[in-house]
Structure 1
Amino acid sequence: MNQPVLTADAVHVVRDGNALLTDVSLTVHPGEHWALLGPNGAGKTTLLSLLGAHLHPTEGRVEVLGHRLGRTDLRGLRAHIGHVNPRHPLRSAPRLRDVVLTGLTNSVERPPRWEPTRQDRERADELIATLGLTARSEARWPTLSQGERGRALIARALMPAPRLLLLDEPATGLDLPGREQLLTALDALAAAHPRLATVLVTHHLEELPTATSHALLLREGRALARGPVAEVLSGDLVGACFGMPLTLSRADGRWTVRAERARPTDPSARSGRKTVPATRHT
């Protein structure tokens, strides 16, 4: 039976009298790859904190991996969720493989007296290969590019074989080659682990892997639209989410977006293509 990996039902989050999320619902099944999209302050990070068992809702129900928040030990639950934070607080210079192996100990540094098993090392090498980093597995952390570090942290998050992977703006700070390598690696990951569910937070549609199957649009703490990307990622809905008329296009599974140009006043100057300004959908 295809039980959900996570469910958020009519969730409200209020902090210091401010509503950060209002009546937000989301259900993610195994093998689905969700994008959380919206402008700054839309509530994306707050929602990801709920899904990663770092935060309780003020109202509503959140179940992650079959455990309801408020009725389970959050620390124990977090050990079964892969959470990728690109701001990993490393201060030493470990090798890339050792950083990946710390996914098993849930520690920033490798514990002094802990030794991985042969199976642990083989799994680390398999994930490093999937993320396209085999040639850099012995490289020291300070010598890695930002993109290589991001992919290494994804491999680290996958070491405990989680059913859910959360990615908080994984392309932040990457140059064009780094971004493309990251997205290629995420698509390879989806192919290699067909039951893995992912939730990726971003501001930019260009940063969505081709494997992205569903999207949730957030604006001012409310869900504007949710569902399969073919239904949700349209010019009018995304334009309403970001507060400006937009045109979206998709080629080979990748998205591009641009702002609509103002309509010409001279009918003879029109290109002949009809454009529709974005309207707010609720």
Structure 2
Amino acid sequence: MTDSPVLKVDAVDVVRGGNPILQGVSLTVRAGEHWALLGPNGAGKTTLLRMLGAFEHPTRGSVEVLGHRLGRVDMRALRAGIGHVDPRHTPDSHLTVREVVLTGATNTADLIPRWEATAEQLAEADRLIDLLGLSHRGDAGWHILSQGQRGRALIARALMPSPRLLLLDEPATGLDLAGREQLLERIDRLQHAHPELASVLVTHHLEELPPGTTHAMLLRDGRAVAAGPVDEVITTEHISACFDHPVRILRQEGRWSVRPAQPALN
């Protein structure tokens, strides 16, 4: 791993219409680190993720993505080095899983007319499809996939350009138990297969965190409640303060769960 940060956010404020969205937020993400952004609705998670993905500028403070400071770089060119997974992305329904993944090579919503993938790109698409557990669905049409399969296909698509940074915006939203567990298992495998890849995952729910999560930031009302190594941040005290509700945090076999602050009486 290199010492140069993949992401560096320094004392960032975001103000819209006179309303503060983020206040004094700082964050440093290095290669091989896997961060979780947690917090209640309206905490500022999506705004921060959009800045990390080079879609928005801060009002004050600085943001460096892949060594480039926002405001001094072509944002569109910078986004080519970032894998951004948005579960709301809707490819054309006539595409197969393999074709959807290949659109990641051109960063387009559809296959470009007369564009042909190279042998290397085809091989990489198949490797990623296998890594995400979709080899049996490579030729299946997008319209017949389950929501969980679509989510994993979008991760494979985001990885096609070999990005240094992967951003996951609530990837388990709307999934049933099986779909969520299949997704988390494959994210965990991905983290082992790409040890230099850094990632940031946004969620409301501790149960949706992959076991390989290394760091976390808790946001509330646009401010960081805590940030750092995951075992120091995801604690009963910090989670209770972040969500303004008393709970107990348990971790077993690498996964987190939430319980009432007081055990139920028999």
Q: Is TM > 0.5 for Structure 1 vs Structure 2?
A: yes
Aligned to 1:48: 49
SS at match of 2:15: strand
The residue number in structure 2 matching 1:160 is 161
TM-score, length-scaled by structure 2: 0.98
Aligned positions of 1:139-150 closer than 5 A: 139-150=140-151
Confirm or deny that 1:187 pairs with 2:188: yes
Q: Following the alignment from structure 1 to structure 2, what is the Cα–Cα distance between the partners of residues 253 and 104?
A: 33
Matched residues in 1 for 2:241 and 2:14: separation? 23
> Given the alignment of the two structures, is residue 171 of structure 1 paired with residue 164 of structure 2, yes or no?
no
The match for 1:8 is 9
> Which residue identity lines up with residue 179 of structure 1 in the other structure?
R
Instruction: Give the letter aligned to residue 12 of structure 2.
Output: V
Structure 1 stretches of 4+ moved >4 Å: none
* Cα distance in 2 between the residues matched to 1:76 and 1:44: 24
- Further displaced range: 86-95 or 255-264: 255-264
Shift of 1:235: 0.5
1:180-204 per-residue CA deviation (whole Å, 9 max, x = no partner) reads: 0000000000000000000000000
Q: Which has the larger radius of gyration?
A: 1
| Whole-angstrom CA distance in 1 between matches of 2:172 and 2:252 | 20
Q: Does 1:151 align with 2:158?
A: no
Residue 91 (structure 1) shift: 3.5
**Aligned equivalents of 1:173 and 1:89: distance in 2?**
15
For residues 57-76 of structure 1, the aligned pairs below 5 Å read: 57-76=58-77
Aligned to 2:113: 112
Q: CA deviation at 1:261?
A: 2.9
Percent of residue pairs bearing the same amino acid type: 63
Per-residue deviation, residues 78-123 of structure 1 (Å, max 9, x unmatched): 1110000001132432100000000011111111111001100000
Structure 2, unaligned runs of 5 or more: none
> What letter corresponds to residue 210 of structure 2 in structure 1?
P
User: What is the CA–CA distance in structure 1 between the aligned matches of 2:112 and 2:161, rounded to whole Å?
Assistant: 16
Q: How does 1:204-243 map to 2 (within 5 A)?
A: 204-243=205-244
Aligned match of 1:77: 78
Give the whole-Å Cα distance in 1 for the aligned partners of 2:83 and 2:259. Answer: 33
Task: Tell me the secondary structure at the aligned position of residue 60 of structure 1.
Answer: strand
1:28 partnered with 2:29: yes
Superimposed CA distance per residue, residues 212-259 of structure 1 (whole angstroms, 9 cap, x where no aligned partner): 000000000000000011100000100100001110111110000122
Contact between 2:91 and 2:100, CA under 8 Å: does it hold in 1? no
Q: Is the 8 A contact 2:7 2:64 kept in 1?
A: yes
Number of aligned residue pairs: give it.
265
Q: TM-score, normalised on structure 1?
A: 0.92
Match of 1:101 in 2: 102
Two-structure CA RMSD over aligned residues (Å) = 1.2
